[in-house]
């Protein structure tokens, strides 16, 4: 099978900790033909969606570090393959957030002709933190506005701590805790996030959400879902006084047994995720609340593998092979 991975520059990846490298490795182990491309490699030729790709298939049964070294050597060659996208069997869209809307526009017309993980329209819907509002009964109290006085009033009326987040982003970047107890900084932060010096239509809508105090003691839980079913999970807890639990923000990970409530949350999400073509996602739960849905480039496989002594990437590629062979359309 021909399986391509569209993502960021592979030279910047630590293969031991990156979910995409494990998915690539498993495809290579099964001797599929593996291609790599970046967002700028997709274009249109004679009404067809085409891409400049590099064949990164190498010999199997190597340590992942050795595999990665050979893979990078493939990138250093001048050989480019100009492949019609629909000649592929599957395409992983694994570029870090935010998504590039023009890329989704290019790929959209062929999204029903090649199996994509995740679907282009699904990623457009799920790219923003607004997507969690599809499930209002299981998320913390949430507000979104571009009016600084409105957000200020929300925080004042709430009384306790709240979290401000940009609508797009990943890895905990730009996520801060605010309180009405620090009025001077609160005003400054709200105005900065909204970009309030701009005319109202040009300001940035900003999300303000209830801060869940339990995160200080218990951390949060990252659950990976595959076609709506639980694939694996890990706990995450912040270090050095940082309330963010993102691994990229320095949090530690630990083994986690999924609770009954967490399974209920996953069940609530299942049908909508499948309907939107979001086959491989990572969700974050604090206490009994869903706080985020990650569908663009969800991570966690290497760390969960190590914690649980499993190989989750094998189940993901099993699923891809089944979809390619079966009537996925």
Q: Is 189 helix (H, G, I), strand (E, B) or coil?
A: helix
pLDDT tens-digit profile of 114-123? Answer: 999 999 999 9
Give the closest residue to 180 by CA, choosing from 221, 151, 138. 151
Element containing residue 208 per DSSP (H, E)? strand 206-210
3-class SS letters over 249-282? HCCEEECCCCCHHHHHHHHHHHHHHHHCCCCEEE
Q: What CA–CA distance (Å, rounded) separates 246 from 268?
A: 24
Whether residue 195 is predicted with pLDDT greater than 80 in this model: the reply is yes
Whole-model pTM over 0.85: yes
Q: 175 φ, ψ to 5°?
A: -95, 120
pLDDT tens-digit profile of 11-24? Answer: 999 999 999 999 99
pLDDT tens-digit profile of 229-272? Answer: 999 999 999 876 556 656 665 679 999 999 999 999 999 999 99
Whether residue 49 is predicted with pLDDT greater than 60 in this model: the reply is yes
- How many CB atoms lie under 10 A from the CB of residue 44? 10
Q: What CA–CA distance (Å, rounded) separates 40 from 51?
A: 9
- With pLDDT > 90 as the criterion, what percentage of the chain qualifies? 77
pLDDT tens-digit profile of 59-108? Answer: 999 999 999 999 999 998 878 888 899 999 999 999 998 899 999 999 99
């Amino acid at each position: 099978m021909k399986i391509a991975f569209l993502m960021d520059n592979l030279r910047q990846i630590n293969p031991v900790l990156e979910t995409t490298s494990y998915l690539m490795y498993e495809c290579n182990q099964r001797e599929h033909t593996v291609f790599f491309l970046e967002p700028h490699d997709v274009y249109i030729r004679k009404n067809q969606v085409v891409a400049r790709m590099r064949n990164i298939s190498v010999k199997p049964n190597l340590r992942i570090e050795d595999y990665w070294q050979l893979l990078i050597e493939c990138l250093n060659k001048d050989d480019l393959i100009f492949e019609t996208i629909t000649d592929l069997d599957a395409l992983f869209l694994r570029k870090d957030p935010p998504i590039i809307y023009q890329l989704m526009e290019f790929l959209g017309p062929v999204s029903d002709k090649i199996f994509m993980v995740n679907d282009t329209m699904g990623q457009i819907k799920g790219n923003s933190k607004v997507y969690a509002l599809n499930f209002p009964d299981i998320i913390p109290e949430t507000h979104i506005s571009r009016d600084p006085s409105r957000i200020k009033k929300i925080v004042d009326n709430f009384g306790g701590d709240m979290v401000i987040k940009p609508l797009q982003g990943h890895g905990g970047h730009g996520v801060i805790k605010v309180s009405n107890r620090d009025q001077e900084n609160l005003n400054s932060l709200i105005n900065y996030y909204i970009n309030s010096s701009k005319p109202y239509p040009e300001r940035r809508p900003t999300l303000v959400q209830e801060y869940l105090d339990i995160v200080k003691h218990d951390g949060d839980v990252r659950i990976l879902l595959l076609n709506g079913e639980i694939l694996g999970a890990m706990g995450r807890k912040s270090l050095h006084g940082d309330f963010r639990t993102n691994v990229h923000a320095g949090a530690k990970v630990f083994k986690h047994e999924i609770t009954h409530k967490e399974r209920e949350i996953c069940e609530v999400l299942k049908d909508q995720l499948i309907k939107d073509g979001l086959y491989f996602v990572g969700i974050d739960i604090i206490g009994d609340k869903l706080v985020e849905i990650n569908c663009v480039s969800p991570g966690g496989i290497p760390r969960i593998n190590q914690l649980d002594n499993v190989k989750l990437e094998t189940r993901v590629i099993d699923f891809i092979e089944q979809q390619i062979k079966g009537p996925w359309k």
